[in-house]
Structures are given as structure tokens and as C-alpha cells.
Structure 1
């Protein structure tokens, strides 16, 4: 019954999506192209699907090839609204948890703004030698022209195949795949359709706010509490259990949860494991210093064929010879 009620809304949403694309394509709505190749990593499905680990993997891949790479993001969930650079001194609440994590793990320059075009202009002004820019999310941000589009999918695939709000899709699928999408990467264990695959597992060590490390295997047999404010907390809990840990309690919070001292109440005397994404905010709280709080990194690895396909798309864009590849709007 609910699906029948939502279906007309989904049809209206689909019309708006197509109209918006057409307005950008015809130049009625303005889009901006930049002097460097722009790679957009995003989702066709609502909710987290593993795009941030993919962004981190791409940044590290380019850095290994000595390509100067920067990242722009909207910084979803942040409290500030101005354009700013992510630095170690900037509170994650102002920059967003995912941009803070990307900068911490890669050292790449990261800028956030409501309009990703504004963030990209600021990035290039501050770091003019940047050779490639990766946009964390923004597949539907057509105001930013892009050269390579990558979509991440988790085990949900396309869900029931319906558009919002009757289903999880932000854009029609598989139609969106034919409209400029270059690469599809599955971040889960059960790909629902063709695309490259990846593996994800927890690292062997957890780390504390002070930088100390503790082997996860050393926590076996000890009751631990697991805490996660991500898109799929149960996936994190399940990975901990798969490592043989005994979870006496689990605390699942909404994605991008803004942690406060109240969230730490009742955790004294416990060993608490959280994700790296949560740690960038939790470790900044004064009350965290008195807790046995440990962050468990995620080891995310796209298959080698994915990087080969990515390199093949990017190489002509880095060449002084003009390339015919590129998307005007997406």
C-alpha cells in the first residue's frame, strides 16, 4: 500500500531529475569547467555506499604515481557554511567527518564548501600545482563539469529499482550508466550487476587518540563495546564479530552523527571500538581522554583491474595532447 502511495511521487521526482539534466545540457543552468581533470566519485543510490574509502584509495593511488591530487567536498553534516580548507586544527564538526578523515589519511589538500565549484576554485588558488581533483560525492552536482565519473554500490545494489521516495535511487538505473558514467565499483560482497569489485576488511590493529596501537587479536576473550555512526553500523559490528571479538554492547547511531559529551556517558570502564570516521570527532571531545577508546581502520582495496581502467581514462587527460574524452555535465 505504501509503495502505491509513493509511486506517483517517485514519478514526479524522475521528471524533475530529467528536467534538471536537460537544463544543464542546454546551458540554461550554468556549469563550470576547470583547467585540471576532475574525477567525481558518488552514489546513484541514497545513503553511504563506500565512496569515501574509494576516494581515499584513489588519492593514494595517484600519490603513488607522484600526481599532485586534491579533494573537494560539500562536507555533509558540518556546522559551518563557509568555504574552508581542512586542516588538522580545524574541528571536524566544521569541516565534516569524511573530509577530515580523507585529509588525515592521505595528507592531500581538501577543501569544503556548499558549492563544490567554490571549493575547487579555492583549492586551485591555494595549491596551483594540483594536477587532478577528486570530488567526494557530487555525482548529481551538475554545476561542476567532470572528466571521469565513478559510482559506488554496496550490497543493496539498486534496491527495488525505484526512484526516491518509493525506492533508494537518486537517478534512473541503468539509464544513468549510459549518460556518462565511466566506472562502477561494488564495495560489498555480493555485486548485483556488472562492475569492478573490491575487498574490505578491518586492519589488524586499533589505535588510540594518542597514537598507540593494540592488536585486535589481543582483545579476543574480553568484552568490548562497539560504537558506529555510519551509514551501516551493523556491517562494522559484523566485521568485529568475524574477527572473533565478543561484543557485550553495540551502539548504532545515524550517519554523520555529531558526537557530544553526552554520547560518552556510561562508557567509563569499557573498552570501546569505533570506526576511523567516528574517531575524527570522538577523539576531539575532552571526555574521550579518560576512556579506553580505540579506532579500528578499514582496509579497502579495489581490484587491480579497476585501477587499470581508471589509469586508462586519466592518462589522455594528463597528456599535453588534447583529449576528446570528458563530460560536459555528467
Structure 2
């Protein structure tokens, strides 16, 4: 998988050229599918509250989950009652499932569990996001806005606002469709999104509503007891950074910005960790997304005492949550 991604994010190469016929077929199917929803052949389902989709155009991580978390917390702080729905990628549940802090990540997936633990708002998962939204509203009828973590291409669920996240460092790679490149939809799809959020450094895209997101590191905490530990505790220790997110390089760069020296151990996005994946080191540094799976490993024991978790939080410029609230208050019309 890492080899494929390296092919995507470099100039046009021989492997990408060989995959062009499949990429053309993928693009055609994606275009036809979207067209069938737009003309009503495939039915779009509407929920009775505003739906905000947080998605992206590329395969892999771009920062959707931290943005969803940020918006959920910001809206709740402003008096709204948001809920979150997600496909639950990597989880086994095929029917709507309410996710709480004790849910097995094997059932719900890593990102929904992280959102349930960190956001303080209800989270439901199902491959059918509309069904997840229905279940959430039935269980919590006071919910007045739903955030869909991922799902830009899940057209069965009607959406009132689309937010498209772009990785500022990697951009759109070779700009080819899957599998020759990283694109799920063409870059022109940005034109129909309500706002674009550029995650990290990189050129701001020419869009009517463009926002910059930066992920700011918090304080490390111990996986075993969630007690905050000072960075000085890491001094003089052999450190290993283990990461199974869409773009591990972003996590490694954050650790380097903190002045840490460590060995890098990248894994595919949503990797199902086993104890044998963890390297021999004094301390092991992981993301919160990976931590929810590692904490569920049976028999982790003393190895778990070595794990330190680095939380990150999104900061948006200008105020995306304020803009979003105004859109919701005005019936989601352009504002």
C-alpha cells in the first residue's frame, strides 16, 4: 500500500500509466453513479435536520476526523445538539450501532471510537449513513444537526453543506483517478463543495470559501491510565513512533517539531494492530486514532505501559464553525 501511495504522489510513472485503463473505468463509473443520483434514478434520502458532510477527494487521510471533532465541539459549545454519523470503516457492524467509549473498535472502527471518546456528542455508525442518521435521531430526537465524517461520495445521504478537506502538503498527487492516482472524484468536484479546508501548509485553493486548518499537538498521555506526562519524561529514552493513519509522515513531522528523535514505524491506514507490531523501545509514541485499537489488544500488559499517546486538535482560520453556524441558521443557504 505504501508503494502505491508513493506512486500516486510523484510525477507520472510507468505503474500509473499501466493502470490508466482501470482508472478510466473507475472515473466513468463514479461519474455515472453521481449522475444517476442527480437525475433521480437512484434515490437520495433526506433526514429532517441539517446534514454537514466532511469529506475529501483523495483516498487516504486528509484530516476529516480532526475537523469533524472540532466542529462537533464548537457547535455544542454554541448551544447546538450535534450528532455524528460514520461508515465505521474497519468495523464489522452492518446495522446502525451507537458508539460509546467502551465499544469494541473491531465493531465500529477506530475513527468513530475516537470521536465518541473525544467529542462528547452521540456517534452512530453504519455502512448506510442514512440509516445511521435515522437511528441517531430516533435515539436522540433533540439532535438538531448531523455531521457526517467522510461520505462526500455517499450520495444516498442528502447533504445540506459539503466541506472538502485537502491535504496541503500532498495535494492531489498525480491528479489521476484510482487506482492510477489517489482521486475518488476529479478536482473539478471542488467547485460544487460549499467550502474547502486546506490541512497544513500549502497553497490555498481558489475557492469562494477556503479555510486553513492546522493540527496542534497537545500533551502526551499514558495509554495505560490516560495520565498526562510531561515531554521531559521522554528525554534520554529510546523512542519509536508507530503510526497507522492515512499520512504517517504528518505524525512523524509533528514529533520532529517537538524536538524528538525516534525510529519510524508506518503502517497502512486503519491497520489492525497486533502486539508483535510494536517495536522494542523504551517508549512507543502513537496517535489517538491508533491508541483506541492498541488499548483493546488482549494481553498488552507491560507493553502497554510503554505507550504514550499524542493528541492533536484542529485550529481553523478564519472561523469555520462560525460560518457553518450562520449557514445552518439561515437554512443552509449561501451566506
**TM-score, structure 1 length as denominator?**
0.90
Choose which of 177, 183, 187 in structure 2 pairs with 1:169.
Answer: 183
Name the counterpart of 1:83.
96
Match of 1:278 in 2: 290
1:38-66 deviations in Å (ceiling 9; x for gaps): 00001111111000000000001101111
The match for 2:309 is 295
Q: For 1:283 and 1:4, locate their aligned partners in 2 and report how far apart those are by CA, in whole Å.
A: 42
CA positional deviation for 1:95: 0.7
Counterparts of 1:3 and 1:68 in 2: how far apart (Å)?
A: 45
Contact 2:87 2:129 in 1 (8 A): yes
Which deviates more, 102-111 or 157-166?
157-166
Residue 191 of structure 1, CA deviation = 3.0
**Between 10-19 and 127-136, the greater mean CA deviation after superposition:** 10-19
Q: Find 2:325's aligned residue among 285, 307, 311.
A: 311
1:237-288 CA-to-partner distances (Å, cap 9, x unmatched) read 22112211121x3221111111223334x54x62111110011111122433
Question: How many Å separate the matches in 2 of 1:214 and 1:94?
Answer: 30
Q: Equivalent residue for 1:320?
A: none
Paired with 2:333 and 2:196, the residues of 1 have a C-alpha distance of 21
Alpha-carbon distance, 1:3 to partner:
3.3
Q: Contact 2:177/2:184 (CA < 8 Å) preserved in 1? A: yes
Q: 1:29 aligns with which of 42, 45, 55?
A: 42
TM-score of the superposition, structure 2-length normalised?
A: 0.89
Contact 1:283 1:289 in 2 (8 A): no
Q: What does the per-residue CA deviation read over 1:130-159, in whole Å, with 9 as the maximum and x for residues that have no partner?
A: 000000100000000000000101122122
Unpaired runs of at least 5, structure 1: 318-322, 326-330
1:20 to 22, 25, 33: 33
Q: Is the 8 A contact 2:73 2:120 kept in 1?
A: no
Instruction: Tell me which residue corresponds to 2:272.
Output: 258
Q: Structure 2 matches for 1:148-297, cutoff 5 A?
A: 148-154=161-167, 155-174=169-188, 176-179=189-192, 181-191=193-203, 193-194=205-206, 195-247=210-262, 249-264=263-278, 267=280, 270-291=282-303, 292-297=306-311
| SS at 2:299 equivalent | helix
Q: How many residues align?
A: 316
CA distance in 2, matches of 1:141, 1:71: 15
Does residue 65 (structure 1) correspond to residue 89 (structure 2)? The answer is no
- Contact 2:223/2:291 (<8 A) preserved: no
Q: Secondary structure at the match of 1:221?
A: coil
Query: Are 1:222 and 1:246, in contact at CA under 8 Å, matched by a contact in 2?
Result: no
Q: Pairwise CA RMSD of aligned residues?
A: 1.9
Query: 2:19 is paired with a residue of what secondary structure?
Result: helix
How far 1:324 moved relative to its partner?
Answer: 5.5
Residue in structure 1 matched with residue 113 of structure 2 by the alignment: 100
Q: For residue 328 of structure 1, what is the aligned residue in structure 2?
A: none
1:274-306 Cα distance to aligned partner (Å, 9 max, x none): 110011111122433313111111122111333
